[in-house]
Amino acid sequence: MMRCGRFHYHAPRTLRDACAMLQDAGSDGMLLAGGTDLVPNMKRRQQTPKVVISLRHVAGLRDAGPDGNRVRLGAMLTLSDLTAKEEVRARHTALFKAAAQVATPHLRNMGTLGGNLCLDTRCNYYDQNYEWRKAINFCMKKAGEICWVAPSSRRCWAISSTDTAPALIALGAEVALATRDGERTLGVADFCRDDGIQYLTRNPDEILTQVLLPIPAPGESSTYWKLRRRGSFDFPVLSVAAWIRRPPEGRVEAARLVLGSVASRPVIAEAAAGLVGTTLSEDVIEAVAEEASRLAKPLDNTDFSLGWRKKAARYLITGALRELRGDDPQTLGPLARRAAELAPVG
């Protein structure tokens, strides 16, 4: 049986204690939220914290509610908690669909919003048992020298595989980070970095406590399409989060398009600007999809071949934009049905 290594376990009750414990533990410490990422990584010895600080019992981290023109979502809300919220389903479709498609129902009952945002980057040279990684003499993300995906590279190319981050970037969300000394907020886009090892801008002593989500104005809509081989379990090999503001029967006033799982962070497609001022005609959608899909430069470190993933990117972007135009994804073929999959039961 795969087992975690030995560690100290702390279960603080207050955020203040949690911050103090994290700071005291220094580089030996790691935060435990739902455990669905950290625990397997500990079992595979990808992560070997000497101190594990559980956020499960920290007061306040599961709270959710309005805050002015924003919604505050506690980082320890499970993905199931999130998808059970009617206002999330109704108003923040991209987040709802992203959360609803993470892994499996069981894992969504455990995994948290904060945990999914902080999900370790993935690579099939890295997401392996210790013994396997020993056979390839490890990689630079853990204990080795080289990036096996791009051996001449000086950086790590592990892939951002979070479902919620692209959705939250498209929705213009921010995160709140707490330390012993206070709190700061920053946009989710700025929370992510394009490096497989240092993939977050979070400081080691900071705890992600909240997600701040703008309440959508009339005319705003969003969606999230996820590509994976199976309808359950699998991480995204490509995802598209899209958001637009468009008055009924009018032209698009603003748009955001974010690609997930194509780099070590979610990638914002500037091509979305091409949607503004249009009525999302087929020509416009295809041109934007063509341009945005150029951002997808897949590497051979996840499921499916790179060439195909690149082709699929264009298809997925097109589909997501058509959905925002008002097309029914159910009519867009089997892959669309899969990629735009809606609500699971809780």
Partner 1 sequence: MSSRIAALDLQVVGKPRRRVDARAKVTGQTRFADDLFLPRMLHCKLLRSPHPHARIRRIDARAAVTAPGVKLVLTGVDLPIPYGILPVSQDEHALCLNRVRFVGDPVAAVVAVDEQTACEALDGIRVDYEPLPTIADPEEALTTPQPRIQPYGDGNVHKKVALQFGEVDAAMASADRVFEDIFFYEGSTHLAIEQHAALAAVDPDGKLTLWSSTQTPHYVHRALSRVLGISPAHIRVIATPNGGGFGGKSDPFNHEIVVAKAAMLLGRPVKICLTREEVFYCHRGRHPVLMKLVTGVNGDGRIVAMDLQTLLDGGAYGSYGVASTFYTGALQTVTYEVPRYRFRGCRVFTNKPPCGPKRGHGTPQPRFAQEIQLDKIAVALGRDPAELRKSQLAKPHALTANYMRIGTMGLGECIDRVVAGSGWKNKHGKLRFGHGVGLACSSYLCGAGLPIYWNALPHSGVQLQLDRSGRVAAFCGATEIGQGSDDVLANLVAEVLGIDPFDIRLVSGDTDLGPVDLGSYSSRVTLMMGHAALQAAERARDLIAQAVSASLEVPASRLVFAGRRVFDAEAPARGVSFAEAVQRGEAMHGTLGTTGSYTPPESAAKYKGGGVGPSPAYSYSACVVEVQVQPETGWVEVEKIWIAHDIGRSLNPVLARGQVEGSVYMALGEALMEEMAYRRLPRHLSGVLVHKFPSLLEYKSPTTLEMPEVITYLVENPDEAGPLGAKEVGQGPLLPVMPAVANAVYDAVGVRVDEVPITPEKVLRALGDRESRRCGPKSFPFIVWPEPLKVAPPWEGGDGTAVNEKPRRRKEGVLMSPDVVQPGLAPHPSTPEAGQKTESSESSPEMPEVLR
Partner 2 sequence: MSASGGVTPRAESRTRLSLRVNGEPVEVLFETYKTLLEVLREDLGLTGTKHGCELGECGACTVLVDSRPVLSCLLLAAECEGSHVRTVEGLAQGACLHPIQETFADLGAAQCGYCTPAMLMTACALLEKHPSPSRGDIRQALSGVLCRCTGYLQIFEAVEAAERRIRENSPGGSEGGG
Residue 11 near which of partner 2, partner 1, none (CB within 5-8 Å, type-dependent)? partner 2
Residue among 34 and 172 whose Cβ is closer to partner 2 = 34
Residue among 279 and 305 whose Cβ is closer to partner 1 = 305
Residue among 218 and 345 whose Cβ is closer to partner 2 = 345
Using the rule CB under 8 A, is 47 a contact of partner 2? no
Q: Are 58 and 208 in contact (CB under 8 A)?
A: no
| The binder of partner 2 chosen from 187, 214, 219, 231 (CB under 8 A) | 231
CA distances from 334 to 200, 314, 337 (A): 35, 16, 5
Using the rule CB under 8 A, is 59 a contact of partner 2? no
In one-letter notation, the amino acid at residue 329 is P
Backbone dihedral region of 65: left (phi > 0), alpha (psi from -120 to 50 degrees) or beta? left
Residue 157's nearest CA partner among 49, 298, 30, 18 is 298
Q: Are 308 and 68 in contact (CB under 8 A)?
A: no
- Shortest distance in whole angstroms from residue 212 CB to partner 1: 32
Alpha helix stretches (DSSP H) within 63-172: 79-84, 86-91, 93-100, 105-110, 113-117, 130-135, 164-170
Residue among 39 and 254 whose Cβ is closer to partner 2 = 39
In DSSP terms, 67 is beta-bridged to 70
Residue among 267 and 313 whose Cβ is closer to partner 1 = 313
Query: By the criterion CB under 8 A, which residues form the site for partner 1?
Result: 1-3, 6, 124, 127-129, 131-132, 134-137, 146, 148, 151, 229-234, 303-305, 307-308, 311-312, 315, 333-335, 338
Question: What's the length of the chain?
Answer: 346
What residues line the site for partner 2 (CB under 8 A)? 1-11, 17, 20-21, 24-26, 28-29, 32, 35-36, 39-40, 43-44, 50-54, 56-57, 80, 103-107, 109-110, 231-233, 344-346
